[in-house]
């Protein structure tokens, strides 16, 4: 039996909800009665996920707002929040999920470009969006869930920008949980293991190669499979729900046993 959450009357903004974990999260929020903001850079993908949300929402299309935004643009993020509050009148849940990676070793010529790009997308955007959402979340005694990774805890060969961005996200969540507790806002982090999404294909890997990578990791996991977006969506809704009202400043590792089994992400191992 899976937990059922009731987010009726609440508004959830999920970044990177045009794909993967974010899309599964937006759809589950909609199914659970929330009004949802679906946002990403690709209009067709945003529209497709928005339709899925409307199809499962008890209140249909009126519960879904689509906003095209690049999280690396502060202007776009300002517009995202303004449109959310203008449309729905409030913000209850912020899920900072958008992210990606560029692999680069520290000795590569283009390492600094990779570092800046990954930190901008994964970390700086989340910090800025959180900063401008606090005043709205304070009014609703709201909630923040940040999507990190087990790469915050384990090394990934040629992945130091990604690992650093995710380690910083874990610490950001802990620090601001302390600052925002007195405002009635809880903050938590989810650290997924390998999840079947679009993340590898977004970096140019052919679908069949991406499938092999997911299968390879899944075969090493104690649970015997790689994760699905819905696995993480359920964790996010739990942390955002009143079922976890005593939990703040924590990291929930959801990895099929990846860390426990010492599965390496260093390709030469």
Q: Which residues are known to be catalytic? A: 162
Residues numbered 218-257 forming contacts with ligand NAI, rule: CB under 6 A:
none
Place of tokens 């899925």: 52
Look at strands 143-147 and 227-228 and give their pairing.
unpaired
CB-wise, 57 or 197, nearer to ligand NAI?
Answer: 197
Binding mask 62-81 for ligand NAI (x = CB under 6 A): --------xxx---------
Place of tokens 């052919």: 206
> Which pair of structure tokens corresponds to residue 106?
């520290």
Selected range binding ligand NAI among 50-58, 98-106, 171-179, 233-241, rule: CB under 6 A: 98-106
Member of 94, 134, 194, 253 binding ligand NAI (CB under 6 A): 194
Q: CB–CB of 66/14 below 8 Å?
A: no
| 199 in contact with ligand NAI (CB under 6 A) | yes
Residues numbered 129-158 forming contacts with ligand NAI, rule: CB under 6 A:
147, 149
Give strand pairing partners of 35. 11
CB-wise, 20 or 161, nearer to ligand NAI?
Answer: 20
- Smallest gap from Cβ 251 to ligand NAI, in A, equals 12
Member of 27, 64, 98, 233 binding ligand NAI (CB under 6 A): 98
* DSSP for 126-184, written as a single string: HHHHHHHHHHHHHHHT-EEEEE--GGGTS-BTT-HHHHHHHHHHHHHHHHHHHHHGGGT
**CA dist., res. 11 & res. 143, Å (int):** 11
Return residues touching ligand NAI (CB under 6 A): 16, 18-22, 40-41, 70-72, 97-100, 121, 147, 149, 192, 194-195, 197-199, 202
């Amino acid at each position: 039996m899976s937990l059922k959450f009731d987010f009726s009357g609440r508004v959830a903004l999920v970044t990177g909800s045009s794909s993967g974990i974010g899309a599964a999260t937006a759809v589950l929020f909609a199914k659970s009665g929330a009004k949802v903001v679906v946002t990403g850079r690709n209009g067709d993908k945003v529209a497709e996920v928005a339709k899925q949300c409307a199809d499962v929402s008890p209140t249909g299309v009126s519960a879904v707002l689509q906003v095209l935004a690049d999280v690396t643009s502060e202007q776009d993020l300002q517009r995202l929040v303004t449109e959310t509050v203008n449309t729905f009148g409030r913000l209850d849940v912020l899920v900072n999920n958008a992210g990606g990676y560029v692999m680069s070793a520290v000795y590569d010529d283009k390492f600094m470009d990779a570092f800046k790009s990954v930190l901008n997308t994964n970390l700086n955007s989340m910090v800025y969006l959180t900063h401008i959402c606090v005043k709205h979340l304070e009014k609703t005694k709201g909630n923040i869930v940040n999507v990190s990774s087990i790469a915050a805890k384990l090394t990934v060969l040629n992945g130091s920008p990604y690992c650093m961005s995710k380690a910083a996200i874990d610490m950001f969540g802990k620090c601001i949980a302390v600052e925002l507790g007195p405002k009635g806002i809880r903050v938590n982090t989810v650290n997924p293991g390998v999840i079947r999404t679009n993340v590898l294909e977004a970096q140019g890997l052919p679908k069949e190669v991406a499938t092999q990578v997911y299968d390879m990791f899944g075969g090493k996991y104690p649970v015997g499979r790689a994760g699905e977006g819905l696995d993480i969506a359920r964790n996010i809704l739990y942390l955002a729900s009143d079922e976890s009202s005593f939990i703040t400043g924590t990291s929930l590792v959801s990895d099929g046993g990846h860390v426990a089994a010492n599965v390496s992400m260093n390709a030469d191992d």
